[in-house]
Amino acid sequence: MQLQKLTIDAPVSSVTLLEDRAQVRRIGKVNLSQGLWRVRVEHVAPVLSDKSLRAEYCGESWESRIDDVRVRRQMLVKEAERPVEFQALHAEFRSLLQFFNNTSEDRQHLESCFERVNTILSKSLQELPVDAIWGQIDPKSWREQLSILFKQLRDLRGEILSSYHTQERLSQQIDDLIARVNALSRPDRIYSAYIEADLAIARSGEYEIAFDYVVPNAMWRPWHQAHLLLEEQSSVSFRMDGCVWQRTGEDWHNIDLVFSTARASLGTEPPLLRDDQLKVQEKSQRIVIEARNQKIQTTGLGTGTTTSSPATPATVEIPGVDDGGEVRNLRSRKKATIPSDGRPYRVPIFSFSSDALVEYILMPEVACQVVLKSEQTNTANLPILAGPVDLVRSTEFVGKTSVGFIAPGEKFALGWGPDAAMRVQRTTKEKKEQDHLTQWNQLTETRTLFLSNIGAEARFIKTIERIPVSELEQVKVEVIAEETTNGVQPDNNGFCTWSFTLEPYSQMSATLVHRISAAPEVQGL
């Protein structure tokens, strides 16, 4: 039976993006008569994985079958085979390079002439005293000859300088042209590829054939935008986008995008077990202490009422997308077009609006700035994935921050930058002494905060300081309430919280005094 050949149109219909690759699906419709066919799909990504390529009938196949499917590649060697824009850039590059080489040769020739004229001038000046000794004194002739040589030197120096600037300009143009060529560099500029499938058609009719394959050079990451409106009831509009990069060699036009957090390359092998050796040693009589920062492990702000704890949910730093341990497949709200140029393109996935609790927070140990903080709820049916957030306050872009994984219905906080109307200073004083009766060592630390409101509006500020928390009986930490503003006491995690109200153009100060007492055998205080 004679093999018939046909080139069909099978555009990209959908793409599933993973962390470091993408699964592409092409669908084409074609009318085929009974017999053997070899269909061809052109302009596919040259970097596609051969072993991932497969083809199938989408609709009724009428007992027809697909015998084989493969990808063919060929290298674009001839200049005429390359795209038109590349041909124009390469022609311009050759022209600039030829001009640069000619200018370089002219400059070398001018520098050689300059050296020869300079040598002649030097020898002429050396001969003047000799002529004077022999009585051949002719100042007019000397002046004419030397002026000619000096004029030639000045002209040559000017031409050399002009040639140097021309070379610099050409060099910059060549670098810019190379950057443009690199920016347009794609796999399909070097190789051309097409899919070839052998079909055995049992019955004439219209067939819908799907081609699936995996390509590298494509990735996505979550990117968010938060918009805060400060009104009588403040609200936050939150949008989650998928930021897509791809340089596969094929453009994706008007496609359905699926953003997946699946890790296809994640290994599933169990870790190797090793023996743990236990050793016994005598307990030291000395106790050495040291201070360390301990992150408070929480599950977030929860879904109920707002808590006063300043703790934030702990996130694990892992490469890729944090999906909370469960694979997520998120679909874009509309079709998208992603060119193969390696640039980022943001595609909206979902958005929501939520009422926000807005307050001013001061943590002077971290930064002597009063920060505007909002607390809102993820009212969407989908989780917010960890990623950067663009902050828009009213109508102004105020900066960027980041969020962790936020489940549906969970509260989360965003910081909107410092308040320009507030000024904060913090001082710390330490005093060491020893109790003569108990021989315990004592360290008293006094922290003083100075706050100034230079704005025309009152500010209600939530201020948080922390003191050490002891894990040993031989070390005690206590706040001296009599010397501390409002007699504030720490919570279980050592956080001391005040709520201050500063009227316009007012000032105030706050003091926190705590004492660390250590037994005589304790060292490191």
Half-sphere exposure of 444 (CA within 13 A, CB side): 11
Query: Is it the case that residue 284 has pLDDT exceeding 80?
Result: no
Total residues found in the chain within this entry: 525
**The two three-digit tokens of residue 59, written as one number:** 């609709």
205 band by pLDDT with thresholds 50, 70 and 90:
very high
d(CA 374, CA 416): 8
Query: Is it the case that residue 287 has pLDDT exceeding 70?
Result: yes
Alpha-carbon torsion, ordered 375, 376, 377, 382, to 10 deg = -110
31 band by pLDDT with thresholds 50, 70 and 90:
very high
d(CA 60, CA 87): 45
DSSP 52: G
4-78+189-216: CATH topology is Immunoglobulin-like (2.60.40)
3-state secondary structure of 366: coil
Highest CATH level, class, for 422-518: mainly beta
220 or 268, greater pLDDT = 220
265 band by pLDDT with thresholds 50, 70 and 90:
low
From residue 426, alpha-carbon distances to 303, 369, 443, 484 in Å are 35, 11, 19, 15
Burial class of residue 181, CB neighbours in 10 A (0-12, 13-18, 19+): middle
d(CA 476, CA 514): 10
Q: Which amino acid is at 147?
A: S
Q: Which amino acid is at 201?
A: I
- Whether the Cβ atoms of residue 410 and residue 301 lie closer than 8 Å to each other: yes
Burial 490-503 (b: 16+ CB within 10 A, else e): beeebbbbbebebe
% of residues, the chain, pLDDT over 90: 64
Cα-to-chain-centroid distance, residue 279: 47
63 or 181, greater pLDDT = 63
What are the tens digits of pLDDT across the range 357-366? 999 999 999 9
d(CA 185, CA 189): 7
* Residue 54, beta-bridge partner list: 212
pTM for the whole thing? Answer: 0.74
Average per-residue pLDDT for the chain? 88
Report, as an integer, the average pLDDT of 125-140. 79
What are the tens digits of pLDDT across the range 436-449? 888 889 999 999 99
What are the tens digits of pLDDT across the range 235-261? 999 999 999 999 999 999 999 999 999
